[in-house]
Structure 1
Amino acid sequence: MVALRKIRHFVWGEIPESKTERNLLFKIDWFILSYCCLMYFCNYLDRSNLSNAYVSGMKEELHMHGTQFNQINTIFTCGYIVGMIPNNLMLQIVPPRIWFPMMQILWGVLTFCTSAVSSVEQIYAIRFFQGIAESSTFVGTHYILGSWYKSGELGKRSGIFTSSGLVGTLFSGILQAAVYTHLNGRAGRSGWRWLFIIDGIITLPIALYGFLMFPDVPTTTRAFYLSEEERLLSCERLESDKEKDIDHGHLNWNLVRRLLGNWRWYGCSLLFAISGETESFGSNNLMGQWMKAIGGFTVPQIDNYPSGVTAFGIVSTLVCATWTDATKSRARWPVLVYMATCTTTASIILLVWSSPMGLKFFAWYLAGASFAGQATTFAWANQICADDHAARGVVLASMNMWNNVVNAWWPLVFYPATDAPRFTKGMWAMIGTSVATLLVTWLVWYLERREKRGKARQIDAGEDGAEAEIPGEGADEKKGNE
């Protein structure tokens, strides 16, 4: 029984002592994680479908050439950047159970539209607006997770959420291979067009589920499955600093002062702006482009084999997130060190063009470790900003926004489709990014540690002052009595 409890603690986190809190945790795990994971699954299914469609006939049918594929991704990223902070601020005003599904319906409809395009210019327009809609998902969910979960519960939930997006990527390749095999040419439509139709069909029922079941945030939730006692407990169990805690929905100019006058916004934004680019191998489907460029692989193989990158990313994400929650210190930085080591090793192997084919496959899959940084970095930021909800929402959005600002031009410069199959510039860029990730990780760790020491000194000084006043008060009271 003791061994089983230890295993459960490692896998799922601290086990609440009270039955009420255990029931609450079960309910929010079920309804928050189920919807957010399904939503993010659709989000990444849509993103990955474009890459898979490109290598499965879209390039030839739409007469795409040069770096037009990279340009589509850049335009999507621009929409993503535009929508990032406004979407997270809207979650402070509009109930998340309304805003999330609305955005999901919008990108679902645009996904249907993608199946009917006749030119690459039409895809440019569609992807820009899809970027705006989809930007609500990632940072919005991390804001919600930080609103419901304690620091010891947050890492693995962030890991599960991030992995759901990777499952969408994994499923996309398998789905495209199946669609190409069984639906290509059906009703006069190419296989890649059927892929977007199926994607849109999957999206809409999940949005309806969100309208009905998503619980918003603890201070505003009216979810029918939570008792009044559980609603109160959901607020009380996260209160660490009542004086600094900012209620959901409270926005003013003081927020700008708190953001710009503190290292958190700068440090966390810089961390993910740089470390997020280590995902470039997987997010740009470089392995698929590499396989198509060197030849000798069928379309289903080109769709299926890169799934190994995603699969290793899922395993890395879940193991790392679980491990960081299990440690007493809740230290997140070791995951970024692991990630940077793997991407550096993979880049060096791929730079040596004479490496055996099996070793190159190993390198591509090893690079999937880069996905482990997403969950860890955002769990870390949630932890750092736990005492200020409104600022936390903007910091999380800014992290992803600045990463996408870099990502808007990064693939065009370092991973253009015309560089396939070697991507020499990209390999050197990955090594540089990995080293920079280590440096910024140290900087954030140092600043967080310094801030904690400063707070500890303030608390100690306050306690000493209180103790010094008590004897004086007692002496005055005694003198008055005399």
Structure 2
Amino acid sequence: MALKARLREYFHTDYEPGEKQLVRKIDFFILTFCCLSYFTNYLDRSNINNAYVSGMKEELHFVGNELNQIQAAFTAGYVVGQVPANLSLHYVRPRIFFPVCMVVWAGLTMVTASVHNAPSIAAIRFFQGMAEATTFVGTHYILGSWYTERELGKRSGIFTASGLAGTMIGGYIQTGIQSSLHMRHGLSGWRWLFIIDGLITLPIAIYGFVFFPDTPATTKAFYLTPSEKALAVSRVPPVADRAPWSWSFLRRTLTSRFFWGFMVLWIIAGETESFSSNALLALYMKSHPTHKYSIPQLNNYPTGVPAAGIVSTLFWATLTDFLNGKRYLVGYFIGITGVVTSALILAAEKYPDATASTPMVFGAYYWAGAVYACQATFFAWANDTLRYEEHMFRAVVLAGMNLGSNVINAWWTIVFYGASMAPWFTRGMWAMIAVSIALVIWTAGLSYFTAHHEQTRKAEMNAEMHQDKSDENLA
């Protein structure tokens, strides 16, 4: 009966008058734009892997780890843009900033269709990384600005799943382009992929210019009534909104346990996604010791990895909302997943010609896709913890998490998952086991610290309430 009551409470939230309609409106206008934006973000970002296995490697004469160097160039631009992009949201309305960035990365994606060597792609991807820098962390900042703690996990999960859908559908798009547009007007199928992905992005940017509502305190959305705007402001804690460019702000940020605690959490967790983000299954298939896969197979089979990520993300985001924000539980799940999947691939490496080794590797990579669940839950965890902090401090912590992760990932990819290490990536398997164990340990420590902080904050709030009542009685 207790579980039934919890489920009823979870799925039938009591709203204030007008609040349910407000949530429906912001769900539609915020989530549609953010999810479509992130979908095209990952579509434009992951297409380099689809292009690589669909003829780009041979046509541009890639050698060694040039693919990884291109990915590192993108990561470098992504890192450079992280904190400045999120701080810019204090000065430029998100309704303007997000769509402008989309137009820039859409143009750069289409320009990639004209390249003739790997260094040209690397230069383009660096600036594309800068343009895409705010999409992920900026959206998490926006979600944390509009939604309550009980609503946030599901929305973060839906947003993250949209990016995974972009990765998954990108493979099918390349397969369709390869069969219908390859050598149309003299362009290879992989070149058409960049053109079409860029064109898909532009209408969504226009939609954002018109409909995105900014933040509750600054919104001028025509579809929100004055009472709904006031209600939106009242739903989130009132916190200071001071300009971030000051030495005191910088000092406070760099000495904050929250900043370093969540940054290190995402540095470790980000590297558990390496199986999926570096397209290791596609590279395994491309360099398979005994079997030759067709281009459609190279594009279609790896889509099971982000598919597993979508299911896992939505499951854990919803479950941790139901469990009153116990986001840290995902860290333990990911730790177990990372150790087991890496061990399976290491075992398969010893018997590369065995009938069972290939299905075991496929199964391990598909299961490893479930670690994508940490994106939604860990950023929701940071948003939950920093709900009572000033807005720009929360924005910088979120950006710092992604910055730290990508600084490490810029060289981690080359050292542990270089394309020349295919098909087994033995060094990377051992690295995955190490970071998975580290994630469990760090998650345990951070969850203790954030729980203690929450208890202290509630005690202080109760003391302030009692003091206010005492003052009223004396008056």
Q: Contact 2:73–2:122 at 8 Å: present in 1 too? A: yes
2:250 to 238, 256, 276: 256
Residues 29 and 456 of structure 1, relative CA distance in 2, 3 Å threshold: closer
- The aligned residue for residue 317 of structure 2 is 321
User: Aligned partners of 1:223 and 1:466: how far apart in 2?
Assistant: 37
Listed as ranges, the matches of 1:51-70 within 5 Å are: 51-70=49-68
1:172 to 170, 173, 185: 170
Which whole-Å deviations, capped at 9, do the CAs of 1:326-347 have from their partners, x for residues lacking one? 12x3110111211221121111
User: Aligned partners of 1:386 and 1:465: how far apart in 2?
Assistant: 23
Deviation at 1:463, TM superposition (A): 6.1
Listed as ranges, the matches of 1:306-455 within 5 Å are: 306-327=302-323, 329-352=324-347, 353=349, 354=351, 356-388=357-389, 389-455=391-457
Which whole-Å deviations, capped at 9, do the CAs of 1:101-153 have from their partners, x for residues lacking one? 00000000001100111111110110000000001100000000000000100
Deviation at 1:14, TM superposition (A): 5.7
2:135 equivalent to 1:137: yes
Q: Contact 1:219–1:248 at 8 Å: present in 2 too? A: no
User: Aligned partners of 2:225 and 2:376: how far apart in 1?
Assistant: 30
User: Aligned partners of 2:160 and 2:345: how far apart in 1?
Assistant: 27
Which whole-Å deviations, capped at 9, do the CAs of 1:130-180 have from their partners, x for residues lacking one? 000001100000000000000100001000000000000000011111111
User: Aligned partners of 1:49 and 1:262: how far apart in 2?
Assistant: 38
1:199 to 197, 200, 211: 197
- The aligned residue for residue 217 of structure 1 is 215
User: Aligned partners of 1:226 and 1:128: how far apart in 2?
Assistant: 38
Deviation at 1:296, TM superposition (A): 2.0
Residues 428 and 195 of structure 1, relative CA distance in 2, 3 Å threshold: same
Identity across the alignment (%): 48
User: Aligned partners of 1:163 and 1:231: how far apart in 2?
Assistant: 28
Residues 457 and 225 of structure 1, relative CA distance in 2, 3 Å threshold: closer
Residues 450 and 117 of structure 1, relative CA distance in 2, 3 Å threshold: same
Which whole-Å deviations, capped at 9, do the CAs of 1:182-217 have from their partners, x for residues lacking one? 111111000000000100110111100000000000
User: Aligned partners of 1:209 and 1:86: how far apart in 2?
Assistant: 24
> Which structure 1 residue ranges, 4+ long, deviate > 3 Å from structure 2?
3-10, 248-254, 456-471
List runs of 5+ in structure 2 lacking aligned partners: none
Aligned partner of 2:265: which letter?
Answer: L
1:303 to 272, 283, 299: 299
2:225 equivalent to 1:227: yes
User: Aligned partners of 1:275 and 1:96: how far apart in 2?
Assistant: 28
Q: Contact 2:161–2:314 at 8 Å: present in 1 too? A: yes
Deviation at 1:47, TM superposition (A): 1.2
- The aligned residue for residue 284 of structure 1 is 278
Q: Contact 2:87–2:244 at 8 Å: present in 1 too? A: no
Residues 167 and 178 of structure 1, relative CA distance in 2, 3 Å threshold: same
Deviation at 1:454, TM superposition (A): 2.6
Aligned partner of 2:166: which letter?
Answer: G
List runs of 5+ in structure 1 lacking aligned partners: 475-482
Deviation at 1:5, TM superposition (A): 10
**3-state secondary structure, aligned to 2:51:** helix
Aligned partner of 1:314: which letter?
Answer: I
TM-score normalised according to structure 1 size? 0.92
Aligned partner of 2:292: which letter?
Answer: G
User: Aligned partners of 2:468 and 2:144: how far apart in 1?
Assistant: 33
User: Aligned partners of 1:454 and 1:145: how far apart in 2?
Assistant: 25
Greater Rg by CA: 1
Q: Contact 1:70–1:411 at 8 Å: present in 2 too? A: yes
Q: When the two structures are aligned, how many residues end up with a matched partner?
A: 464
User: Aligned partners of 1:467 and 1:371: how far apart in 2?
Assistant: 47
Aligned partner of 2:271: which letter?
Answer: E
Deviation at 1:41, TM superposition (A): 0.4
Deviation at 1:356, TM superposition (A): 2.8
- The aligned residue for residue 159 of structure 2 is 161
User: Aligned partners of 2:126 and 2:279: how far apart in 1?
Assistant: 20
Residues 188 and 467 of structure 1, relative CA distance in 2, 3 Å threshold: closer
Residues 39 and 4 of structure 1, relative CA distance in 2, 3 Å threshold: farther
User: Aligned partners of 2:407 and 2:246: how far apart in 1?
Assistant: 26
TM-score normalised according to structure 2 size? 0.94
Residues 463 and 246 of structure 1, relative CA distance in 2, 3 Å threshold: closer
Q: Contact 1:9–1:326 at 8 Å: present in 2 too? A: no
